Structure 1
Amino acid sequence: MDHNRRKDLESLADDAPAILASCKLAQPWLKRPGDIFQCKTTAYRPGRYYVMGFNPGGKGDAGVCLQSTLEQLPAINDKKAKHPLSGTRVYGNLKKLACMLRAHDPQEPDTWEDDLFITNLFPDASMGVRAWKQQNSHRPARDYVSAVWPLHQQMLSVVRPSYVIAFGQGSRDSTFRYLWDHLKDEDSHKTWDQTMNPKTKALDPTIKSFTVSELPVLSGTLKNVTFIGIRHLSYHAPSDTLRCLL
């Protein structure tokens, strides 16, 4: 394993539990099933894309707790491990998305499973958005986003993407909507409807986007990061119209 990546993984394994434990809202997640990465650890390095779902799927009542998952991160052998999403409903469409993204990075090798960084907005496993909301109903969703965002700031500072691609872009409870609510510029006075990008509106109005000119992360600021919302990959293949924004 590359020395710098091991160091980054060890830092994440050390810091993530403290980040989550520091907030009463996120603290219970450490004792429940969950995961931080939805990709191989080889992808935890600088790259153009940061792909994000809502949360890990699962009943939430079985499996390894998040605390243990984090402790094991630096010891994972990706040469032997399967992709974490292999065999799931999302995997096939995720591969199509990766091929689409790779077309814009001709220098990248054809090894998307090792290269594409994928995570979730929340590391807390559940059977779906509705179940997750019932399980975490103590406060509004925006409070949970604020609680977990420092963890994403740490990962974003390593990946340093130009694009964050959220699969799940519904107008109420979705990864993209929660990101927009958390990161939108309060002075811009833009409405939710204005996340529909003019470049894609005629061809595929389901694709939404907004750009953050300065995105604070753990180590400084990322410039002009574009957040793109697409339909959930568990149910829909990525639209070719996405290419208009990349």
Structure 2
Amino acid sequence: MRDQIISEVIHRLSNDAKKPGSVLYNGWNTLCPSHGLYIMGFNPGGDPDQIEISVIKSFELEDDYCSYEDECWRKSCPHGCQKHRGQSVHQRRVKELAQVLGYKIREVFAANAIFVRSKNQNDLDERERLFDKCWPIHQIFLSIVKPKIILCLGNGERSSAFAFLKEKLKAKESHVGNVKAFLSEIPLADGETIRSRIIGVRHPSRPWFNPVRDLRLFLEMQDSSAGI
């Protein structure tokens, strides 16, 4: 399966597969039928001139690897820092978001919507084109994981994983506080479909947001509505 996916990435992305980037946040062992949670970020951050590992090279992960626990994402630390692994605001919040939904982050499948790296979203050109090239790979992942929930890290109107999925699936969103969501039938790579709830929270790296509190409120409101 690994070789097939890597070959498909090379085929779909062509020259973009050679650019600095990353696909998976967690190890290959999380790519399994869990019927649970699928986390989708926007794209890998960091300076592509300093973090030169290509999209294809990034697949060389250990099975039990977890970017949210085994890497240091503090902007003040040099690349490869081991001292503050898993301690950035972004990492801590994503771990909490998974816990709120009932999962341990190390066991959750997580991937970037777009695989090419950029310092920030504004530096990423042709975002829609890149997502269109990456989407068939996500359809392969989704056909294996078959998640009940896709949690999007970021829910902006234009440049977010949530916005891309909403446009791709032609869905209408609902709001509960700062959380956006919709239910959708998702076409998979094998021709089948799954029905998943897509939830978009505000980006966990922004210290002035509180996506964990937002998600708890969203789930409480969902439970209250179900009980009426």
- Fold conserved between structures, TM > 0.5: yes
Measure how far apart 1:53 and its partner are.
0.7
The 1:169/1:79 distance shift into structure 2, 3 A limit, reads closer
CA distance in 2, matches of 1:77, 1:177: 30
- Identify if the C-alpha distance between structure 1 residues 196 and 123 changes in structure 2 by more than 3 Å, giving closer, same or farther: same
Partner residue in 1 for 2:101:
101
**Residues in 1 aligned to 2:166 and 2:66: alpha-carbon distance in whole angstroms:** 37
Asked if 1 retains the 8 angstrom alpha-carbon contact of 2:26 and 2:66, the reply is no
TM-score by length of 1: 0.72
Task: Quote the residue 1:126 is aligned against.
Answer: 118
Residue ranges of structure 2 left out of the alignment (5+ in a row): 74-85, 224-228
Q: What residue is the counterpart of 1:61 in the other structure?
A: 49
SS at match of 2:197: strand
Report whether the alignment pairs 1:241 with 2:210. no
AA aligned to 1:233 is P
Q: Percent identity?
A: 24
In 1, Cα distance between equivalents of 2:198 and 2:66: 33
SS at match of 1:22: helix
Equivalences, count:
201
Shift of 1:150: 0.8
The TM-score with structure 2 as length reference comes to: 0.78
Unaligned runs of 5+ in 1: 1-10, 103-107, 186-193
Query: How far apart, CA to CA, are the structure 2 residues paired with 1:167 and 1:95?
Result: 12
Q: Cα distance 1:15–1:61, how it changes in 2: closer, same or farther (>3 A)?
A: farther
CA gap 1:223/1:67 in 2 versus in 1, 3 angstroms: closer
Partner of residue 168, structure 2: 182
Amino acid at match of 1:196: S
- 1:122-153 alpha-carbon deviations (Å, 9 max, x no partner): 11111111011xxx34xxx3332221111001
Task: Give the match for residue 196 of structure 2.
Answer: 225
Instruction: State the distance in 1 between where 2:38 and 2:202 align.
Output: 16
Q: Which amino acid letter does the alignment assign opposite residue 183 of structure 2?
A: T
CA distance in 1, matches of 2:121, 2:222: 27
Which residue is 2:17 aligned to?
30
Matched to 2:119, the amino acid is M
Q: Secondary structure at the match of 2:194?
A: strand
- What value does the CA root-mean-square deviation take over the aligned residues? 2.4
- Given candidates 2, 5, 27, the residue that maps to 1:16 is 5
The residue type equivalent to 1:234 in the other structure is: S
8 A Cα contact 2:38 2:149, kept in partner? yes
Cα distance in structure 1, aligned partners of 2:157 and 2:63 = 39
